[in-house]
Amino acid sequence: MSLRLFNTLTRSVEDFVSLEAGRVQMYACGPTVYNYAHIGNLRTYIFEDLLRRTLEYLGYSVEHVMNVTDVGHLTDDADEGEDKVIRSAREQGMTVWEIAEHFTNAFFSDLDNLDVIRPTIVCKATDHIQDMIGLIERIEAKGHTYISGGNVYFDVTSFPHYGELAMLDRQNLQAGARVGVDENKRNPADFVLWFTNSKFERQAMVWDSPWGRGYPGWHIECSAMSMKYLGDKFDIHCGGVDHINVHHTNEIAQAEAATGVHPWVRYWLHGEFLVLDKDKMSKSLGNIMTLSSLTEKGYDSMDFRYFCLGGHYRSQLQFSPEALDAARSARLSLLDRIADFRRRADSVPEHPEGKAAAYLSDFTSRMQDDLHVPQALSVLWKMIKDTQVPPEQALSAIGFMDRMLGLGLIENTAEENLEEELSRLIEERNAARKNRDFERADTIREDLEKRGILLEDGPDGTRWKRKR
């Protein structure tokens, strides 16, 4: 069975074949670090993590490159959110560089909390200005640029493949429909490679270049860095759907114009949006929803990961507190059941057999079919509820499944030891129950609950578990 992925280039599901057997090179668009990542951003990184985990599960060695864009969007412009950052930077006496570092750290901390495996290479835009200048020079040498109003522009008419990814009809692109026209452009789709003449004041980061002191355009960093680390041709490029029309379209133009190699990237994968309540999303209210805002309410980061696994990556996912609660309950129930398997299991075989093996195979085929995680999850639940699957077999299969899901199903269900004092209380309660002193027994149970220990009396005796 092979991996099949939906390729935005062709708008269809294709068999995935890597350029080099057993090795996958993938580039994932990273954050622009001028603010905290919100949960919608994080959904996309979770999607990319599922892709990476599945590739690795299937035996590929994955080179996973991610940029951190710490230039370009850090100065003031008309956007209110950015004003706020500048304001807070000023208030806190931080430079834009410090702001970038702060939000970069916050970003990776979020990913760690979500058990998103870190990229093999993380590259900062400001460390690669010379690479960007070099790439612009190559594009210029091939005759795809012009200089106007002090800025270096990419001439989209010089690049016949322009807009293929987005399936743009260039004739019908309407300039200035929602934004002012840049008078320097020959064609509305043209875009800046290098600015020397900023439309923003207070530009905080500038570098020398053959075209004058200035800073790079919005799209060049991804082309330059991905090509630096992955070469002129590589397997997968992914990001959010919002990147298709402009960012990725322009990245392709830049890369292919410079090298003449087509296609530059073979598979383009895009994650759909998490849809929030309008109120919650309102920028004017300033309450973008972050992962920490969820954990502050008592959710575990992994509740959010589980929630994201409930929808397919190419469908919009409707976020609501109720939906997150449902994910939380489901996840905790899953952990409880697995913990129970672990108590009942003898030794867990390295590979599952029989029915468990069949479930694993079913699960894997759903994952291989364009990462149909919701279906894979339903297979996991079916296996868990199938009384014909012995616990040690189920555990063996779950171990493999979780390598793709990344829910910590094995790590978070290990047997724990209870403090001696608490164990003694449980024994005391059981003695009380034997003597039919239920008042005493219930008092102890309530006391333990206050200390985070829940008791369940079963036919095999009393079990305890920690409140989550």
Partner RNA sequence: GGCGCCGUACCCAAGUGGUAAGGGAGAGGUCUGCAAAACCUUUAUGCACCGGUUCGAAUCCGGUCGGCGCCUCCA
Contacts of 448 (CB under 8 A, 6+ apart): 422, 425, 426, 454, 455, 464
Lookup: tokens for 196: 């020397």
Q: How far is the CB of 131 from RNA (least distance, A)?
A: 18
Query: Least distance to RNA from the beta carbon of 337, Å?
Result: 6
Q: Nearer Cβ to RNA, position 18 or 265?
A: 265
Task: Pick between residue 134 and residue 188 the one whose CB is nearest to RNA.
Answer: 188
Residues 6+ apart with CB under 8 A from 227: 135, 255, 258, 259
Q: Where are the alpha helices (DSSP H) in 369-450?
A: 373-385, 391-405, 420-434, 438-450
* Comparison of 22 and 458: residue with beta carbon closer to RNA: 458
- Measured from the CB atom, the residue of 143 and 438 that comes closer to RNA is 438
234-240 sheet: strands from edge to edge: 121-124, 61-68, 23-28, 234-240, 265-271
| Beta carbon of residue 326, minimum distance to RNA (angstroms, whole number) | 3
Nearest one of 366, 443, 422, 352 to 394, comparing CA atoms: 352
**What is the rounded distance in angstroms from the CA atom of residue 23 to the CA atom of residue 119?**
15
CA distances from 88 to 68, 76, 322, 387 (A): 21, 12, 33, 57
Nearer to RNA, 73 or 355 (CB): 73
Measured CA to CA in angstroms, residue 421 lies from 293, 379, 458 at distances of 35, 41, 22
Q: Which one, of 65, 81, 54, lies nearest residue 30 by Cα?
A: 65
Q: Which two tokens stand for residue 70?
A: 């710490």
Least separation in angstroms between CB 371 and RNA = 10
**Beta bridge pairs of residue 23:** 20, 61
Nearest distance, CB of residue 22 and RNA, angstroms: 28
Closer residue to RNA (CB): 129 or 276: 276
Please enumerate in sequence order all residues whose Cβ is within 8 A of that of 360, keeping only pairs 6 or more positions apart, or say none.
352, 397, 400, 401
Cβ proximity to RNA: between 166 and 410 the closer is: 166
Tokens of 276: 């929030």
Q: Cβ closer to RNA: 18 or 240?
A: 240
Of the candidates 246, 267, 231, 254, the one whose C-alpha atom is nearest the C-alpha of residue 159 is: 254
CB of 246 to RNA, least distance (A): 5
Q: Closer to RNA at the Cβ: 18 or 65?
A: 65
Least separation in angstroms between residue 66's CB and RNA is: 11
Alpha carbons 406 and 97: distance in angstroms, whole number: 33
Query: Measured from the CB atom, is 276 or 367 closer to RNA?
Result: 276
Nearer to RNA, 66 or 348 (CB): 66
* Smallest gap from residue 328 Cβ to RNA (A): 8
* Cβ contacts of 458 within 8 Å, gap of 6 or more: none
Tell me the closest approach of the beta carbon of residue 441 to RNA, in angstroms. 4
**CB of 20: closest distance to RNA in angstroms?**
27
Task: Write down the least CB distance from residue 101 to RNA, Å.
Answer: 17
Structure tokens at 159: 């690049």
Residue 52 in tokens:
């990476």
How is 285-306 classified by DSSP, letter by letter?
TT---BHHHHHTTT--HHHHHH
